[in-house]
Amino acid sequence: MRGRQHNAPEEASVDLTPMLDVVFILLIFFIVTSTFIQERALGLEPPPPPSNAPTDPDTQAILVYVGADNLITVNGRFTDLSGVRANMERLRAENPESSLIIQAHPRARTGTIIKIRDEAYNAKMERVNVVQSQE
């Protein structure tokens, strides 16, 4: 055993560069192939500008007012959230061409306004406008 030299074994090392390349390629693949959900925005169309033509009393708008304390009035009559749709349908039966204007106080709860708008769409109201009160 004299003539043999004993060499220390080389340290084993793992090169992580190919693994990182594969991870980045997979990341890019999943980003490109993923689908993103498009959120729908609320339809907040302002009411049409007033015209100089005389207004027809048969096509008056239904006004739903939401106060700062979330009290709801439909054309001046107090009601709760569950009675809004019935009032809208009753007034729409009287004037089928009438539109709906939801006038909200700046401190009114957004959830209340959205529930009223949803009830209007459930009642098949075609023209629904949301405006902010000037109070």
Phi, psi of 102 (to 5 degrees): -100, 110
CB 58 within 8 A of CB 94: no
Residue whose tokens read 């004299």: 2
Among candidate residues 116, 101, 107, the one with its CA nearest the CA of residue 135: 107
Instruction: Spell out the domain ranges in the chain.
Output: 58-132
What's the pTM? 0.56
Q: What is the pLDDT along the chain (135 residues), one digit of tens a residue?
A: 566 676 767 777 778 888 889 999 999 999 888 877 777 777 777 766 666 655 555 458 889 999 989 899 998 899 998 889 998 889 888 888 888 999 999 899 989 999 999 998 888 888 888 888 876
CATH of domain 58-132: 3.30.420.270
